[in-house]
Amino acid sequence: MTQKVESHAFQAEVQEVLSLVIHSLYKDRDIFLRELISNASDALDKLRFEALTKPEWLPEGEALGVALDANAETRTLTIADNGIGMDYGDLTENLGKVASSGTRKFLDALKEGGEGPELIGRFGVGFYSAFMVADQVTVETCKVGTDKGLRWQSDGKGEYTIEEVDGLSRGTMITLHLTESEEGQSDYTQEHILRGIVSRYSDFVEYPVQMEVERSEPKLDSDGKEIEGETEMVSSMETLNSMKPLWSRSKSDVTDEEYAEFYRHQAHDWSPPLETIHFNAEGALEFTALLFLPGQKPMNFGDGAAPKSKVSLYVRRVMVQKECEELLPVWLRFVQGVVETADLPLNVSRETLQSNRRVEQIQKSLVRKIMDTMGKMLEKEREKYMVFWKNFGWVIKEGLYYAPDKQESLAELCLFEGAGDYEYTTLAGYKSAMPEGQEAIYVLTGPDRATVEASAHLEGMRAKGWDVLFLTDPVDEWVLERLTEYDGTPIQRLDKGDLNLESEEEKKDLEEKQEAAGDLLKTMQESMSGSVSEVRFSSRLAESPAVLVEAEGGMSAHQVRMMRHAGQDVPDPLRILELNPDHPLVQGLQKLHAVDAGSPRVQEFSELLFDGAMMREGGVPKNPAQFQKLLTELMVASLKG
């Protein structure tokens, strides 16, 4: 009976990924084997995990492993595992598409001329790397619990076929029809080449990676004694990897290269980790942790999807939870790695994990260790810490909001950009540089550095020679709700409330000026009553005529924009318009109002001042058409005049 062969087209992105992988990684062709062994090991993990609740899926005594088989004559290499296998849906989903939702973005980034290998590494090359070395790939697979074997086949040129095949046992066997190796390229049918790659990239894989090897051994006589001068070829299955989970080895026995390789396997990240944290906890609760701080931001990190921890939980060598959210708080969700303990049951359920005191204790200890490591890095390797902070600082700052008990120690680890002459400063650094007379840490939030840097709020601070911290991460708005002081010094937003910066004398002077202009301010306020709750004189400004301020406890413009961005319906808050009493425009308005209190110009100019201040903080005029009309009229008038 002939089985039906179905043809399918690859999703368009697959073709692009394929050609990128082939062209960018031609120097690192060896990694195809690492990727396929890594997939096989994942498939074995999945089976072992499922078998915890369905023991019949893994008959007692059955050994799990990966087998390599190379044939120099047919130029084929097979990688077989007795893991979970794939059914029809798995095949079409996994080997016909690119799973990551960020693929489009990734491909566009590459086209814009990003570093090929770096970006590809962030994406994870996976199965498709097989086409770097093969012109035909066959996957024969049978999923556990089914008895339907399937054969997937492709030359990597746009299409693949799937057909049913009989007689397959559980697991997956991938056959690569290797292309002729060119001068200087490795021949993947050679035992020593494969052995070298496995020991370099896959030594710690927890399952045996085996291969049948032929050795010439001395011939033995019937008594088992060596016959001198005579040898024979003996073939035997040999395990090529040490299989020792890296974390169970002592720190001094593990090289940086091995850590980096394990991290790659675990995190699918091409670049080495920024920091490795490997420790054993002993005493009442015993566990081993091998954690990594990534050197770069993973693809899609922070893209909407629910934040997930990247740390796997093992109980007595068995992975019981791949991304175990309970092991770390959300604000450390970028940390990668493995935790193993013997103090939890093997069949521990999600629910148990959530309220388990041991898991809580492990979390506490991991957090402490990670924060210690960060502290040391900040103190001793500032440049490195800055790289780390640029990638993950915005995540860590969530801790200031979510973990009140950690607030003090976390605040020490935060870096901030600011108006001063530095790339980043700590709060301690800022505080120690505060000149005499400055009593608060001043901060300004905004969508980006350029907008904040151009803010009129900085003028008064510049005039005084005081530094201001720029808070431009979306999370900063929430952080400031909780982080109201540092080491006894209040943290003050520049755009909110009364800053009380004036001396008694200056205050008196301002009050007098304000009183003299009282009628004008009242008229202005009335003419803009829908947008403004108060018009007053300010000591914040040096060059600009006006700035918008929030009442104490009100929402900042940036906060409003963010809430709207998040889909919330927030009405325009009433703002306070502060005017610079020494600005010629304000003084001119005062004169005009004194002569002709009913002049329509007063209202028009008030609106222009308001709109101008609004644009300065990154907003748009309430009525852009009206704004342009007024501006045009003014320009025409000034040209005539």
**Minimum distance, C-beta of residue 320 to ligand ADP, in the bound complex (Å):** 19
Measuring CA to CA, which residue among 481, 378, 461, 484 is closest to residue 425?
A: 378
Tell me the pairing of strands 134-142 and 149-154: antiparallel
Cα–Cα distance, 63 to 261 (Å, whole number): 25
Q: Could you give the 3-state DSSP secondary structure of residue 543? A: coil
DSSP 16-46: HHHHHHHHHSGGGTTHHHHHHHHHHHHHHHH
Residue 44 or 400: the one with the smaller Cβ distance to ligand ADP is 44
Determine, following the binding rule CB under 6 A, whether residue 269 of this chain makes contact with ligand ADP.
Answer: no
Residue 86 or 362: the one with the smaller Cβ distance to ligand ADP is 86
Determine, following the binding rule CB under 6 A, whether residue 84 of this chain makes contact with ligand ADP.
Answer: yes
Residue 39 or 445: the one with the smaller Cβ distance to ligand ADP is 39
**Minimum distance, C-beta of residue 108 to ligand ADP, in the bound complex (Å):** 20
Query: Tokens at residue 55, please?
Result: 């023991």
Contacts of 169 (CB under 8 A, 6+ apart): 82, 142
Determine, following the binding rule CB under 6 A, whether residue 130 of this chain makes contact with ligand ADP.
Answer: no
Residue 297 or 358: the one with the smaller Cβ distance to ligand ADP is 297
With contacts defined by CB under 6 A, name the span among 39-47, 377-385, 460-468, 611-619 that binds ligand ADP. Answer: 39-47
With contacts defined by CB under 6 A, name the span among 93-101, 107-115, 301-309, 536-544 that binds ligand ADP. Answer: 93-101
Determine, following the binding rule CB under 6 A, whether residue 127 of this chain makes contact with ligand ADP.
Answer: yes
**Given candidates 77, 86, 456, 468, which one binds ligand ADP under the rule CB under 6 A?**
86
Query: Tokens at residue 586, please?
Result: 């304000």
Q: Which residue has 């058409």 as its token pair?
A: 625
**Minimum distance, C-beta of residue 176 to ligand ADP, in the bound complex (Å):** 13
Residue 268 or 593: the one with the smaller Cβ distance to ligand ADP is 268
**Minimum distance, C-beta of residue 212 to ligand ADP, in the bound complex (Å):** 20
From residue 180, give the alpha-carbon distance in Å to each of 31, 426, 469.
Answer: 17, 57, 60
Determine, following the binding rule CB under 6 A, whether residue 268 of this chain makes contact with ligand ADP.
Answer: yes
Determine, following the binding rule CB under 6 A, whether residue 40 of this chain makes contact with ligand ADP.
Answer: yes
Determine, following the binding rule CB under 6 A, whether residue 121 of this chain makes contact with ligand ADP.
Answer: no
DSSP 439-502: -SEEEEE-SSHHHHHT-TTHHHHHHHT---EEE-STTHHHHHHH--EETTEEEEETTBS----S
**Given candidates 94, 300, 514, 626, which one binds ligand ADP under the rule CB under 6 A?**
94
Contacts of 493 (CB under 8 A, 6+ apart): 442, 443, 444, 445, 480, 556
Residue 83 or 474: the one with the smaller Cβ distance to ligand ADP is 83
Determine, following the binding rule CB under 6 A, whether residue 48 of this chain makes contact with ligand ADP.
Answer: no
With contacts defined by CB under 6 A, name the span among 13-21, 77-85, 371-379, 568-576 that binds ligand ADP. Answer: 77-85
Question: Sheet containing 441-445: which strands, arranged edge to edge?
Answer: 417-418, 469-471, 441-445, 489-493, 485-486
Contact 585, 413 (CB under 8 A): no
Residue 39 or 527: the one with the smaller Cβ distance to ligand ADP is 39
Q: What is the CA radius of gyration of the chain?
A: 33
DSSP 349-388: -HHHHHT-HHHHHHHHHHHHHHHHHHHHHHHH-HHHHHHH
In the shown chain, the binding pattern of residues 344 to 383 toward ligand ADP, with x for contact by CB under 6 A and - for none, equals: ----------------------------------------
Residue 85 or 418: the one with the smaller Cβ distance to ligand ADP is 85
Triad 388, 288, 36: Cα angle to 5°: 70
With contacts defined by CB under 6 A, name the span among 121-129, 152-160, 366-374, 534-542 that binds ligand ADP. Answer: 121-129
Determine, following the binding rule CB under 6 A, whether residue 41 of this chain makes contact with ligand ADP.
Answer: no
**Minimum distance, C-beta of residue 38 to ligand ADP, in the bound complex (Å):** 7
Using CB atoms within 10 Å of the CB of residue 346, give its burial: 0 to 12 exposed, 13 to 18 middle, 19+ buried: exposed
Contact 350, 313 (CB under 8 A): no
Determine, following the binding rule CB under 6 A, whether residue 17 of this chain makes contact with ligand ADP.
Answer: no
- Amino acid making up residue 63: A
Instruction: Point out the residue whose Cβ comes nearest to ligand ADP.
Output: 126
Q: How many chain residues touch ligand ADP (CB under 6 A)?
A: 17
Determine, following the binding rule CB under 6 A, whether residue 273 of this chain makes contact with ligand ADP.
Answer: no
Residue 40 or 68: the one with the smaller Cβ distance to ligand ADP is 40
**Given candidates 31, 33, 43, 51, which one binds ligand ADP under the rule CB under 6 A?**
43
Query: Tokens at residue 178, please?
Result: 């290797």
DSSP 154-196: E-SSSEEEEEEESSPPSEEEEEEEEPPPPTTS--TT-HHHHHH
With contacts defined by CB under 6 A, name the span among 81-89, 478-486, 579-587, 620-628 that binds ligand ADP. Answer: 81-89
Determine, following the binding rule CB under 6 A, whether residue 120 of this chain makes contact with ligand ADP.
Answer: no
With contacts defined by CB under 6 A, name the span among 11-19, 76-84, 342-350, 377-385 that binds ligand ADP. Answer: 76-84
Contact 421, 462 (CB under 8 A): no
Query: Tokens at residue 19, please?
Result: 């050609």
Determine, following the binding rule CB under 6 A, whether residue 51 of this chain makes contact with ligand ADP.
Answer: no
Which stretches of the chain bind ligand ADP, using CB under 6 A?
35, 39-40, 43, 81, 83-84, 86, 94-95, 99, 124, 126-128, 172, 268
